Structure 1
Amino acid sequence: MDWALVFVLQVTFLPFITSHGLFKVEAKPNKYTSELGGEVVMKCRFDPVPSDPLTGLKVYWYWTMDNFPDRKVYVMDNGEKDLSLPDVDFQGRVKFSTEELQNGWAVLQLSRLKINDSGTYQCLIDTALGTDYKKMTLSVTAPYKAVTKHIQEVAEQDELLLTCQSEGYPESTVVWQDGQGQNIIPNTTFVSTPDQLIKVTSQIRIRSLEKNNYTCRFTNDGHSATFHIPDDIPNHPVKNDALIVALIIGLILLIIVVVLTYHRRKGAGTHNTRNLLVNGRGGFFPAPVCLQIGKENDEDLRENLRASLKAHYADNSFSTEMGYHWDDPHRLQNNEGQPVTLQSLIPEAEEMLFIEGPPGSGKTTLAHILISSWVKGPTDALTNLLDLSMVHLLLYVDCSTAKGDLFQEIISQLSLGEKVSTEDELRTVLTRSNVLLLLDGYREGDQLFDDSLKTFISERKGCRVLIMACPGHCPTLRETVGTRELLKLQTQTVKY
């Protein structure tokens, strides 16, 4: 019999069956919210439970939405999954827990969530004791995390156009305030992107001569960006008189430097000019002094990045709210199936380590444990199991949301645009042996990201690299790494 006819007959007789109290289905909770690329576990409870749930039970999960045809998510008939029925859009992303049927639960796990997974899900249970169904709603969201800002001078007007832009879901309003907390009414537009996100562009006009700060804030999740005027204005104009004076002073200084250099070379031929640098007063710095200055600047940059990264992770609840625990040491195994410790997750200098595990095995949780331990340092509860003192910088990239190359994603996801001025500067930082690059949810197929990762791996020098992915998602990279640097993460049984 056609499944649609079965469904119509079941729904037609539901009022009669359930009114006599023979069988009922409940949905608790009936509303779910999860982020794009993540996963959700939805469940419904049925009572009474048949004596043999696997042979006397049929389970139907449907996705429904007004003005759209219903889509079949999962169908189980007498303990067997019907592979011919589920909608192609859900294939490979659905997991059903048959173990929970004997406890009266129909549990559905949906991973790698998409925006169009949002809607109403119907759980229908058909048994010899009766038939009933319940509906629940799922909302898939995408936070407006990366807020980009732009400043444009308005031609022939003493004004600036400030622009904030970000992508997310659902639609978010943007609130602007100046440094005194006064609200400013913006011009905001919304455009849908090919990946079903909403690109929000919000702009205000201000007078360019007024010194002030202006902040745009996306109300959905609170992410914001601040403009410091006039400091942030590119190529800030200088009055003509001041420009002329500056040029004259610069020319005089240049002449002095040239003359002094000429006389020093003429009167002291024994100087090795390759090891001397001219200072701002016409004198010379020995090369070791110059190298020391460069080393100090590099250390300042890394300290600023370290503080910025820890603040970023704390703001995004990596270390203060999640409460991660690691209570099953046997889940993490080496390539020979032997249990290994959490400390084995930390690659050696110049080493690339690959962690492989199926969806739901806890790869992202494990990544967050590493971040939390790094942020908290010696005060972390896992200090006796995990020592990250050798890692000065930990850079975490969620590859499932990547849209640019490796370096663009590091700067964008970790909000380093104001800390790292160029990509070359970031490349220099990543060559250090006390840097750990953590790539979570990597999957080959994005040529731009794949090519940039391959280039970085070949040039990374001392950087430690830890990559987490599902089995079969990265065959090319796995072949590069080999099996010696492979760890496996076993799926933990989930109980509801």
Structure 2
Amino acid sequence: MMELSIGRFCCVLLSLFAGLVSGLEITSTGPTSIEKASGQSVKLDCQFTLAPEDSGPLDIEWSLLASDNQKEDKVVILYSGDRAYVDYYPPMTGRVHFNSPDPKNGDASINLTGLKSSDSGTYQCKVKKAPGIRSRKMLLIVMVKPSKPRCYAEGPTEEGKNIVLRCKSSEGTNPLQYSWEKTSDSKLLPSTAVLDPVGGTINVKNASASASGTYRCSVSNRVGTEDCILYLNVTPPPNTAGIIAGAIIAVLLILLIIAIILFCCCRARHRKKYEKEICNEIREDVPPPKSRVSTARSFTVGSQRSSLGSMSPSNLHEYALKPQYDKIPSSEEYERPPSHAPVPPPNGAKMAGPNLSRMGGIPVMIPAQNRDGSIV
């Protein structure tokens, strides 16, 4: 352990002695902290001087120091052996260059273009020329300019309500500061307005019609400012009773229309069903004859047919000569009043055959008949 401690002490003494005898010095005296906006360019200054005793090869190394001690530093650009190496750090490829085409003349400064928020960090310039080594650190803060904010009113914009006006920027490096102003009418914010410069809100309590107008919200940080415009229109409260009455009337009208449609459909359906039933009924094309005339004619014709069927040829000749059998009585004759009809014989009187012949009658055998006059 004693030997190890003596060895370390000797190394420290040698390094201090080399620093004392070396003429290498970093001469830059500019600020060690720089703030820039994204998209801009920055120059990280690192000027140095050499002495005749610095006879070793010149090496210049720029690195981005890790924020965590457990991680390694990232070499950004390197000059060694009279040659520049610019592709050490892929995220900065094409965006980092030495300020001087020949850094060995004493200018080890670099230029970073198209800055991004990820470029923020501590950069170290290390110049080595044996036996001397010198370095310089610089803090670069790349700030993002605020994006154009969005302005809108939250909640109902009615009289007597609390109206919240919001202003929000989606991008931008903190801290962001918000401010509101009214650009119309009196150009004064309502007396009941409460502004939140960090959250970007303005709360107008118990809003009145005078709060209507044009408002501008501005958001800013150390590298830029953006704004948006909002037009606020405070309206009177709605007529709730009128809205309810209108809704009820509209519902009743809809129900009435539906009822009319259903009624028409049912009526049309019943009419169609009735017409279909009428078409399926059996109809009599010719009406039947009058019952009395039909009965009289069937009776007379039946009687004549019965008489003719029972006669002999000799009697048939005599039957043809009698005028009363020449024709069938007409309906008018059949329907004559009883006063003109011959008086029938008394009930119960029986005519004998000789008496009937003496009276000029002809005995006739009438066959049996059914009700409709057909011969049985």
Using the size of structure 1 for normalisation, the TM-score is: 0.37
Using the size of structure 2 for normalisation, the TM-score is: 0.47
Higher relative strand content:
1
